[in-house]
Amino acid sequence: MKVLVIGAGNMGLTYATGMSKSKLLKKRNIMVLDKSKEKMEEVGKIAHFDAMERLEDCVPKADIIFLAVKPYHAEDLFKRMKHLVNPEQLFISIMAGVTIKFIQEALGIQKVVRAMPNLPAQVGKGLTSYVSAEEVSRLELFMVEGLLDTTGKSLRVKSEKYIDASTGISGSGPAYVFYFMQSMMEAALQMGFSENVSKVLVSQTFTGAVELFNQNNLTPDSWMERVASKGGTTRAALDSMQDNNVNELIKEAAFAAFNRAVELGEEY
């Protein structure tokens, strides 16, 4: 099986690297192409995969093609590659907001998987939600899942609506966590800690809390009850968040991302 990744940006290289480190594919069976010659020269130096320069040289050879360019580059790319594709090939798009129907029509093919990764994929801790066109077989889906799992976990969803919804939770979610971390680091600095110490205090708190959450079956609410005693310090903080409606504001933010994903999907 030969895989081609088009777009050697953050995400494209993350998947190419994840696949090259896995045992699923031989390294010589992973091709990467980007329109920037300089980028491909760089990729050729560091990479564990074949750096390609011309669509003509790699598209016809590929069994699976990852589409990892920005959504606004999709139309131009599709025009250039339409005459090179065939109906047996499987396309995995990670382009935010670009629908399966749009890809099928633009390329004249049927087998499309639409996936939504997130940034922690870069460290093998990503979450990729995905949905497929009905023309994709069970066996092909099994392969797709294997490839997506090389950057973390994958989650198959029922429809494209859930791709937009997962954009609001896991896709954009890492930024919400960074927002919270930033606020806590600013508070630590204001309390007199150095920048380095603030960073350690905050990052170890996040890592530890997530680890606790993952290793037990308790809900976040139950954990909060365990940490907060009546009249204590944690209760003071949680009461302050409750009084300021932080819970509702976070939900509102997630829905803002979800709604924006739906809006972007209407363009493609």
Ligand X SMILES: NC(=O)c1ccc[n+]([C@@H]2O[C@H](COP(=O)([O-])OP(=O)(O)OC[C@H]3O[C@@H](n4cnc5c(N)ncnc54)[C@H](OP(=O)(O)O)[C@@H]3O)[C@@H](O)[C@H]2O)c1
Count other Cβ atoms within 10 Å, centred on residue 227. Answer: 14
Tokens of 82: 């339409």
Interatomic CA distance for residues 79 and 181, integer angstroms: 43
Taking CB under 6 A as the binding criterion, the range among 30-38, 57-65, 181-189, 237-245 that sits at the site for ligand X is: 30-38
Residue (of 57, 98, 91, 60) closest to 76 by Cα position: 98
Q: Is 62 annotated as a binding residue?
A: no
6 is known to lie in a ligand binding site: yes
The annotation status of 5 as a binding-site residue, yes or no, is no
How many residues in the chain?
268
**Where on the phi/psi map is residue 95: left (φ > 0), alpha (ψ -120 to 50), or beta?**
beta
39 binds ligand X (CB under 6 A): yes
Q: Does residue 125 have a known ligand-binding role? A: no
Residue 5 sits in the site that holds ligand X (CB under 6 A) = no
Whether residue 210 is annotated as binding a ligand: the answer is no
Q: Which residues contact 79 (CB under 8 A, 6 or more apart)?
A: 106
Check binding of 112 to ligand X (CB under 6 A). no
Instruction: By CB under 6 A, tell whether 69 contacts ligand X.
Output: yes
How much of the chain is helix, strand and coil, in % rounded to 5? 60, 15, 25
Q: Write out the H or E segment, with its range, that includes residue 92.
A: strand 90-93
Q: Which is nearer to ligand X, 128 or 198 (CB)?
A: 128
Q: Which of 51, 58, 103, 117 binds ligand X (CB under 6 A)?
A: 117
Q: Does 70 bind ligand X (CB under 6 A)?
A: yes
Instruction: Output 115 or 188, the one with its CB closest to ligand X.
Output: 115
Say how many residues touch ligand X, by CB under 6 A. Answer: 27
Residues that bind ligand X (CB under 6 A): 6-12, 33-36, 39, 68-71, 73, 76-77, 94-96, 116-119, 171
Residues annotated within the binding site for NADP(+) are 6-11, 68-71
